[in-house]
Structure formats: structure tokens, C-alpha cells
Structure 1
Amino acid sequence: MPKRMSLAEAIASYVHDGDLVYLAGFTHLIPFAAGHEIIRQRKRGLILARATPDLIYDQMVAAGCARRLIFSWAGNPGVGMLHAIRRAVEAGEIEIEEYTHFAMVARLTAGAAGLPFMPMRPSGHDLPQVNPHYREITCPFTGERLMAVPALQPDVAIVHVQRADEEGNAQIWGIIGEQKEAALAARRVIVTAEEIVPSEVIRQDPNRTVIPGFLVTAVCHVPYGAHPSYAQGYYDRDNRFYMEWDAVSRDPERLKAWLEEWVYGVPDRAAYWEKLGPQVHQRVAIRPAWSAPVNYGEVLD
């Protein structure tokens, strides 16, 4: 089976109802396009896991995709609450399982390493009182009391990157979140990329390859796939979108209308980007800022 396919094909093939799905990326390279395709295909009963759920999980919960949310800090960054998630929790429509940021990454790290759990030092927060998955253990070497959290192994992790080749070797620069750990921990990995480049381009700068191709199940060319978050070197964060989302998500009917227009009402990401129009395109436009080249050297003949 070829790895390169459309995003619609990848979601249809590899995201199943009831799956534990992890959309990775910390403020940067959040895979909104993939989340919208999951909504568009009306996937149901998902367990959505993510550090900082951000707007994409607010949208997916509002669309009825989720039955459970595993997360660390749920909010609209710099603005306030995720109102659709809050309504769903208060109405008993979804279950929640909350961790600290470090504990979420520790869970992924354990999953990536094939370990059943990951130990941590107690940090004084009260989450163990409401989350039974925090467990106290005794260090076998020092006798010290530690906290442990179970491994997290998603059925599918979805990662947006700046560039990848057709074999799935995926490169990221700028802020790197938990993308590598999520990919290593997951059973299936979907990569969406701003660019698909020849393998020679990837090999010219191998240290930027955060996710190796052998981990990847599907790779999809999805320009602007992270909007309204940003892709370093491609487009800026759409801060106005985040601010405007607060008003949209406060009103269930307005949110429903937004989903109808901007997700169900467009066939794919290219149509979504075109619909945003030149004013938004200009708002998130950037100018080049090249880093210094690196000399990897080459053996003389």
C-alpha cells in the first residue's frame, strides 16, 4: 500500500469509530485540517487525547465525535474557556481524564518506550484526588515515594509537519511539542505536511527528521493544514481567529452554524483556505527569515 494519499482517504482508512486519537502539536503545527476531516466524516465514540486540547477539540466535541477526553489544561490559549467542552462535561455528555502537562508527556514517553508506566516526582497538585490513574509507588533503589502514570498508546496519532517525503520521513523546525513521542507510542501514524519533497531533500538535513518514515502509516499533502495555529516559515498564528472563537463557541447555535459553513460546507482544506479569502491570507502572511546553512561535509573522491 502506498503511504501517500489524500487526507480524506487516510482518515477513512485509519481512524475508526471508538479509537483513541491523539492530535499532536504544542501551539505550533496543530493538525486542524485532520480534525476537520474527522468531523466531516462523522467519526463517533472517539477518545480524544492531547496536551492542551485547544480549539480543535472544542470543535470535535461540539460535532459529537468524542465520548472521552484525556488532556492537560483545556482552554483557548490567551483568551479563556473552551465553551463547547465545558457544556459537554457539565451535561454529562463526555468523560474527562485530566493530567498535568508533564504527566501527559510522561504517559506518551512510556508508551513510546514500551513500558507500562512512567515514574515522576510528586509535585503537590491535587489531581491524584480526582484521577485514579495517578498511583504512588516506592523506588526499589532508594525507597523514595514516587508518583506513576500509565502508558498512553493511541490507536492513531496525527501530526502536522512542515515537510515530508512520500515515504513519510517528516521534518519539523521551530517549536517542537510531543509529536515524536506521540508517533512512537501510536499504533498508526498519519502525517499531514505543508510540502511533500523528494527524499534527497530530507537526507540533506537529516537532523530535522523528527518522525522517521518507518513509523508512518499515511502521509498527506495538506497546505495550510494547521490554520488557525501556525507553521514556522509558512504562515503565522491567526490570533484574531482565536479571539473570535470565544464568541462563536459560547453560543451552541452559532457554533453549529460555523461547523456547517466551515467544515461540512467545504470538501477539503484547499476549499477552506480559499474560502478564508485574501484578507485572512494577508493577516497570517510572513516574510522569509533564513537560518544559517550547515556544512555536513562530504568525503573527497
Structure 2
Amino acid sequence: MNTRSSLPQIHADVDAMVQAHVKPGMHLHLATNPSRPNALIHALARNFRHKNPRFTISTTALQGSGHALALAGVIERAITCFAGDNYPSPRPNRIYQNLLAGKPFVLEQWSILSLVQRLMAAALGSQYAVTRSLVGSDLERAKEDVLFTIPDPAQPSESITLLRSLAPDLTLVHGVCADDRGNVLLCAPTGEGHWGALAARGGVIASVERIVPRAVIDAHADRVLVPGHRVVGLCEARFGAHPQSLRTCGIGDIPSYRDDYAALLEIVERFRTAPDAEAWFRDWVAPPRGHDAYLAHLGEERLHALSAVPERKAAPAPQGEPTVAERLIALAARQIVDLVLERDYQTILAGIGISHIAAWVAAKQLERRGVHVRLLAELGFYGMDPHPGDVYLFSQLHMGHCEQLAGVAEILGCYVAGQASKCLGVLGAGEIDPKGNINSTRTNTGKYIIGSGGANDIASTVDCLLVAREGKNRLVREVAYTTSPGRNVLGVVTPFGRFGRTTPEEPLSLSTWLPVGSEGEATPSASVERWSDWPLPVESVSTEADIRDDERALIWEIDAEGVYRR
């Protein structure tokens, strides 16, 4: 007779819970909902630092507090889609530069949707998942969990790939609240949703802002995403997602809190050198510092400020000549507007960085012309009207200005890759070649960049526009690694003009040119030769109009602090 209680074990803190349930050598999944279980990540790092055997870690991204795991040496193998920093825009982190050589751990790279699809398959009791992502990219190659690719029986011109499901031993989650039965409540947007939690063979250990009476959970049963019978360990961890945000919907009178941008930037800065990174670990993670000490180090005044909506700052009037970044945003917005009007796209999915600012500008311009196009973000944002003054793509402040809040499966799976999709993807890239292939994975010297994130899922399934800074190291003859295939790329926008093509088989060529005044190039061909490694000559090029005052005013209104436009 099985007498084991189905109720979870409730622990005093995250360290006690990690010590009780996590065993060396496990496969641990770090859920993205869309916040990550950062208090648990810190506990994992400090309790297992330099111990063997190490863990297999799966997660959609290693960023922010996740760097503590790499620094602690607890990862043997990582199954992920991104490793680096993403605030305010994606950038490499020094600690991962030798990942492709297996240091500090072995890397297995996926796209966000394909990883979530593998978790979904395991949660549904299937050994296999089917995806339209990965095809034609280097992400598809040399993986034992990519079984085969075949023509799609429903659309022979397209291909589908069979993947093995992904079932971790244990999944780590941070939720809004839970009851003593283990039911964990999450608020949308949900990122990967409950799939990682339900895929775990051994169940879930969850930290929450507060353990609440059962009546609170029962009153919000429509929101409970992790059912109690899957939760084996539970504890409270106030601000357990910090430095990321957490949306609570006011349930149980638990306050929401915003991303701590200062903390995220501190991580970026202090990981530039090994001694500074070690000092950051000592200051914020290492024993005897537990989660209570972490909060005390932050201070109640700082924590309280994160729960308040900041005052909107007035947008400054544009000054001086347009910067290179402003030129790029304005030209990209023009191209987005042209494509939406020409092809009747209903949604725009923009990747993080200058590409999402261009998409936001274009959406405002279209709205002024009476055309409503919905902005999407991959972690669960649909119909965004970005909160004024906050340019971070995944800011919690945008969540209150959305037509719908969902998850990765809905956004990347249904609204982007779905059968009835009329979506335009707007993406950035580390490298782009004339075929439209995108590289955000490795440099030509073998150093790791950041990985795919959701870019491969978008480029694999819908029409795309690429937004790229100029430079021979960006516009290259051939990418060093195909992170995302170029078959759906309609064009590329640079600060000196727009590139396009009429068929996917043609190479991209300059179609419009923006002169740069008396010190700039005298001809379109001269610009292409100076700022790219793409082939010449350039023919049939029209001249772009100068950046208008109204375009600059809108860019400055959206990016008041100049995070992207400088």
C-alpha cells in the first residue's frame, strides 16, 4: 500500500529545499514563466559549487542570475537557446566565449519553440515532437535528438522535423503563490507555461512569493498552472524572481515588481573580467549568503521602488544630426510600413534590440494612417501597446497594455508559425550573408556569440525583415554559422539603405540608398563597398529621402533615454 502523502514538503527556505531534493548529476530544468527561479538558481550555485558530478541544465536562456551557475562550475551540459546578456539588448558575455570548445560546459543549442515543443511532448506522454523550426540551419545538424526531416505531407514545399521529447529529472519554478497542497499559481504571460513542470519525471520544486490559504487558490483556479500533485517541494522566497520582474495580478495582495535594470546592468559590467565576476558572486550568491541576506543587501527601499510604477519622463526634443542608430530605425520603420501596406500583415513579431524599436515606431506610424497591426513578443505578449518610457522588450509594464497575454506555444507556435499566420518577423543579427542567412552563434574565430533565442523559429516559418548595423564583419559573404535560414528573408535594412530581392533564390542587393552628407560616400556602390563585404556592382538604386523631423520625434518619444537611438 502506498502511504506517501501527495502533499509537498514545505521548506524553510530555498537552500533547505535544494539540499533536500536536488541530487548531483540530475537533469534540472529551469522554468521560464517568463521570469526565472532566480532565488533557486542562486541556492543551486552556492550549495553545489565545484562539486561533482555536475548537472545537466535545460532552460530557454542562461542570462542574468543564471551566470552564477556557470561561475560556480555546476553545469556539465546545458540544453538552451541563448547564453549571454539581453538587457538592454542581446550581447555576448565573456564567461561563455569558449562555449563552442566545451568551456565552461558542453553546449547543446536549440530554438525557443523547438525546446518548448520537446517539453510539451514529454508532458503529454509522447516520445517525440514535430517542429517546423530548425530546418536548413546548423541547429538541425549533429544532434542525436533530431531524428529526421521530411517534406510536410500537407505542404510538400515545406519540411518538418521529428525530435525526441525532453524530460528532466526535476523542474525548478518560481510562482506568485501556492497553497499547502502544492498548487502553484502563475500569471500570464507564461513563457513556456506549465510544460517544463509537467515534463519532469521527478516533479517540481517551487518557490513562491507567499504560501496562501487554500481559499485564495480555489478562487483563482483558472490561473493555477502547476497542479499540486506534481510539486514535491515548496517554500516562500519573496522577490524570488529578482532581478527579473514578476506579475502577480494583485492576487493575495501580493505586489508585482518590475525588472531591476540596475542589477541587470551590474551583472553585465561585473562579468567583463574574471576577478569582478568572482567578486559579484561573493557579494550576491556565495555562502553564508542565503536569500534573506540577498534581500537585505538589496534593501527594502529598493525593493519597494520596484513595486511602484515609475513616473513617465517627458520625451526630449530631437537635437543635432540624426545618429547612425536613428537612421537605421527610421529606414527600418519605413520598410516595415511599406511591407504591411503591400502584403497586409496582421501581426509583427520583433526580436529584441533595435529591431523591436523599429517595429514599435512602424506600428505607431501605421496607426496614424488608420492601419492597426498587432505587435507580438515571443514570451507571451500579443497586441502590445508599449508602456511609454520603457524600451525593454519584455518589461512587465507592457503587460498591462496588451490585448492578450499568452505563452511561447501560442505566440511562436500559433500566431507566428500557425496555418493562418499573416505575420512579419523583424530580426537583428550578428552576421548576414547575401542569401539572408543569419548568424548569432559563432564568430569566424570560433567564439560564441549568444545563440538563436526565438529567431530561428521566426525565420523558419514567416516572412522576415532583417535590421543590421553596417560593417564588413556584419554584412559578410558567407556566415560562419547558420543560426537561422535565409529562405524567408525579404530584405535587409542598414543605416545606408535597404536591400531587397524578388525571389528567395536571388541574392540581396541594394535597392535604396541614403547619402550621408558631404563626408559620406558619393555613390551607392561606394557605400556598399565601404560598409559591407557583399558583392558589387549596385544597379537600379533609388535615393532615400532624408530622415524627417516627425520620424525623429517619434523615435525620441519611444526611446526617451536614448537606449537604442544613440
Task: Tell me if 1:191 matches 2:197.
Answer: no
Residue in 1 that maps onto 2:104? 93
Q: Following superposition of structure 1 onto structure 2, how do residues 11-50 of structure 1 map, counting pairs within 5 Å?
A: 11-26=18-33, 28-42=34-48, 44=51, 45-50=54-59
Q: 1:133 aligns with which of 110, 132, 145?
A: 145
Within 2, Cα distance between the matches of 1:92 and 1:267? Answer: 27
One-letter amino acid matched to 1:100: S
Within 2, Cα distance between the matches of 1:3 and 1:76? Answer: 35
1:86 Cα offset (Å): 2.7
**Structure 1 stretches of 5 or more lacking a match?**
292-301
**Structure 2 stretches of 5 or more lacking a match?**
249-255, 310-396, 401-566
Within 2, Cα distance between the matches of 1:11 and 1:201? Answer: 27
Within 2, Cα distance between the matches of 1:56 and 1:271? Answer: 16
Within 1, Cα distance between the matches of 2:152 and 2:161? Answer: 13
Within 2, Cα distance between the matches of 1:139 and 1:197? Answer: 51
Task: Tell me if 1:177 matches 2:191.
Answer: yes
Seen in structure 2, the aligned counterparts of structure 1 residues 139 and 168 have a Cα distance that, compared at 3 Å, is farther
Q: Following superposition of structure 1 onto structure 2, how do residues 61-210 of structure 1 map, counting pairs within 5 Å?
A: 61-77=70-86, 78-79=88-89, 80-87=91-98, 89-90=100-101, 92-122=103-133, 123-138=135-150, 145-187=159-201, 188-210=203-225
The question of whether the paired residues in 1 share the 8 Å contact of 2:121 and 2:165 is answered with: yes
Q: 2:257 aligns with which of 218, 224, 235?
A: 235
Task: Tell me if 1:271 matches 2:293.
Answer: yes
TM-score of the aligned structures, taking structure 1 as reference length: 0.88
1:217 aligned counterpart, secondary structure = strand
Residue in 1 that maps onto 2:235? 220
The question of whether the paired residues in 1 share the 8 Å contact of 2:96 and 2:103 is answered with: no
Which deviations, in whole Å up to 9, do the C-alpha atoms of 1:244-291 show, x marking residues without a partner? 21121121111111112211144321211111124532442325x9x9
What is the RMSD of the two structures over their aligned residues, measured on CA atoms? 2.4
Seen in structure 2, the aligned counterparts of structure 1 residues 86 and 168 have a Cα distance that, compared at 3 Å, is farther
Q: Following superposition of structure 1 onto structure 2, how do residues 53-68 of structure 1 map, counting pairs within 5 Å?
A: 53-68=62-77
The question of whether the paired residues in 2 share the 8 Å contact of 1:42 and 1:65 is answered with: yes
Calculate percent identity across the aligned residue pairs.
25
The question of whether the paired residues in 2 share the 8 Å contact of 1:249 and 1:255 is answered with: yes
Within 1, Cα distance between the matches of 2:98 and 2:271? Answer: 10
1:141 Cα offset (Å): 6.6
2:222 aligned counterpart, secondary structure = helix
Task: Tell me if 1:8 matches 2:8.
Answer: no
1:207 aligned counterpart, secondary structure = coil
Within 1, Cα distance between the matches of 2:59 and 2:125? Answer: 19
Residue in 1 that maps onto 2:514? none
Seen in structure 2, the aligned counterparts of structure 1 residues 278 and 178 have a Cα distance that, compared at 3 Å, is same
1:12 aligned counterpart, secondary structure = helix
Residue in 2 that maps onto 1:297? none
The question of whether the paired residues in 2 share the 8 Å contact of 1:266 and 1:272 is answered with: no
Within 2, Cα distance between the matches of 1:153 and 1:215? Answer: 14
Which deviations, in whole Å up to 9, do the C-alpha atoms of 1:148-182 show, x marking residues without a partner? 22111111101100111111101111320124001
The question of whether the paired residues in 2 share the 8 Å contact of 1:58 and 1:85 is answered with: no
Within 1, Cα distance between the matches of 2:127 and 2:293? Answer: 43
1:3 Cα offset (Å): 2.1
Which deviations, in whole Å up to 9, do the C-alpha atoms of 1:77-103 show, x marking residues without a partner? 134123223345546331110011111
Seen in structure 2, the aligned counterparts of structure 1 residues 236 and 229 have a Cα distance that, compared at 3 Å, is same
One-letter amino acid matched to 1:184: L
Q: Which of structures 1 and 2 has the bigger CA Rg? A: 2
Within 2, Cα distance between the matches of 1:31 and 1:269? Answer: 12
**Matched length:** 289
Within 1, Cα distance between the matches of 2:277 and 2:45? Answer: 13
Within 2, Cα distance between the matches of 1:140 and 1:284? Answer: 48
Q: Select the structure that is richer in helix.
A: 1
Residue in 1 that maps onto 2:303? 281
The question of whether the paired residues in 2 share the 8 Å contact of 1:110 and 1:116 is answered with: yes
Which deviations, in whole Å up to 9, do the C-alpha atoms of 1:113-143 show, x marking residues without a partner? 1111101125443311343432324489769
Seen in structure 2, the aligned counterparts of structure 1 residues 146 and 111 have a Cα distance that, compared at 3 Å, is same
1:210 aligned counterpart, secondary structure = strand
The question of whether the paired residues in 2 share the 8 Å contact of 1:98 and 1:131 is answered with: no
1:84 aligned counterpart, secondary structure = helix
RCO higher in 1 or 2 (8 Å CA, sep ≥ 6)? 1
